[in-house]
Structure 1
Amino acid sequence: MSFIRYQVGDVVKMRKVHPCGGDQWEIMRTGVDFRIKCLKCGRVLMLPRPKFEKSVKIILSQVIPPS
């Protein structure tokens, strides 16, 4: 089983569209809970990890960690 690593600054596309019409979110915090920000309206949400991982459709852009 492979796990996807999410990092602060990654932009993800969610399965459901936000009421403002946006479906792209920037990850602001990772851990047990995820804090994400809608890139269209700026709304910030906190989601538990299992719900977040089920809701992500695709990672649009990833931050490259410093080596």
Structure 2
Amino acid sequence: MKNFNLGDIVKMKKQHPCGINAWEIIRTGADIKIKCTGCGRIVMIPRNKFEKDLKQILESKQENNE
């Protein structure tokens, strides 16, 4: 299981149709809500699909706060 938190910027397997591959996590739970950093579109996906499609954490909000 990968560690991710609210506010983290993540890279997913597939990029958004606008051409950006960076997403901000805006809600966690059974479903994960992510927002495209390019166009601002919000997408909600099940946690297991999110964890499967997550490639890397580009910017961690937790590291910035410490």
TM-score, length-scaled by structure 2: 0.90
Q: CA deviation at 1:34?
A: 0.3
As a proportion of its length, which structure holds more helix? 2
Q: Does 1:48 align with 2:26?
A: no
SS at 1:21's partner residue? coil
Q: Quote the offset at 1:63 in angstroms.
A: 1.4
Structure-2 residue corresponding to 1:26: 24
Structure 1 spans left out of the alignment, 5+ residues: none
Percent identity, aligned pairs only, is 51
The one-letter amino acid paired with 2:44 is: M
Which of 28, 32, 35 aligns to 2:33? It is 35
Off by >4 Å, runs of 4+ in structure 1: none
Report the CA distance between 1:46 and its aligned residue. 0.3
Q: CA RMSD in A?
A: 1.5
